[in-house]
Amino acid sequence: MSDPGELIIEPKNGQPADACVFILHGLGADGSDFEPLVPAMGLPRSLNVRFIMPHAPRLPVTVNGGMVMPAWYDILAMDLGRRVDTLQLKRSAERIQALIQEQIDQGMDSRRIIVAGFSQGGAVAYHTALTFPAPLGGLLAMSTYLATGESLEPGDANRGLAIEVHHGSFDPVVPESLGRAGADALKAKGYGVNYRQYPMAHALCPQQVNDIGKWLQARLA
């Protein structure tokens, strides 16, 4: 898969970043999709956070008639199990892990790096964070599912990872039951997961944006 780069937003206060948040977009979007989230969260200017929003490569997507679009991996069927191209998903996760490692190599403490993802990007975020070899600061999974649950081999470094899972009650794209199933599967493996449900469809709502801001501030303050 080609590497189309990423959108990077540096701290608005002009200070060097000492924390980093990766946000992975959903199918058919790009990194700029979540650019408006940054000011909407109302984070204090004292937080020196760098936001990195990678762009997915363009791939043919089977469930969309083979149409080529930004996608982290191919979706083979839209049944409840969400059959996906697991190899492509894992390659996308490896790409994000390489970007995380770049931040660490530049002096960023891995515990101040958070991985977030929405929908398809959330499935990649799950795999990225749970298999990363160094302890991270947190994982935020939004309106998504644990696509690699059966083949996932979590590393020991993030057994204590703070995991926040958000889902809409009226999501017509990724049923809320899939979001809850992923959270429950991780709880069964011993992970601490906080699950929040919102009265929304496949999107973000104002209360959720507020909660995300508070959660990030608690993790990075």
Phi, psi of 193 (to 5 degrees): -120, 130
5: left (phi over 0), alpha (psi -120 to 50) or beta: left
**Inter-CA distances, 139 with 40, 159, 206, Å:** 19, 12, 20
Let me know if 171 is a catalytic residue: yes
Residues 155, 9, 57: CA angle, nearest 5 degrees: 60
Taking only Cα atoms into account, the Rg of the chain, rounded to an integer number of angstroms, comes to: 16
* Residue that is written with structure tokens 């990872």 in the block: 161
Which candidate in 18, 109, 184, 202 is catalytic?
A: 202
Which candidate in 92, 110, 119, 143 is catalytic?
A: 119
Tokens standing for residue 38: 């940054």
**Inter-CA distances, 2 with 58, 72, 173, 178, Å:** 8, 11, 27, 29
CA dist 86 and 115 (Å) reads 19
Let me know if 202 is a catalytic residue: yes
Residue 21 contacts residue 52 (beta carbons within 8 Å)? yes
Q: Which amino acid is at 28?
A: G
Residue 24 contacts residue 32 (beta carbons within 8 Å)? no
* Catalytic residue ranges: 119, 171, 202
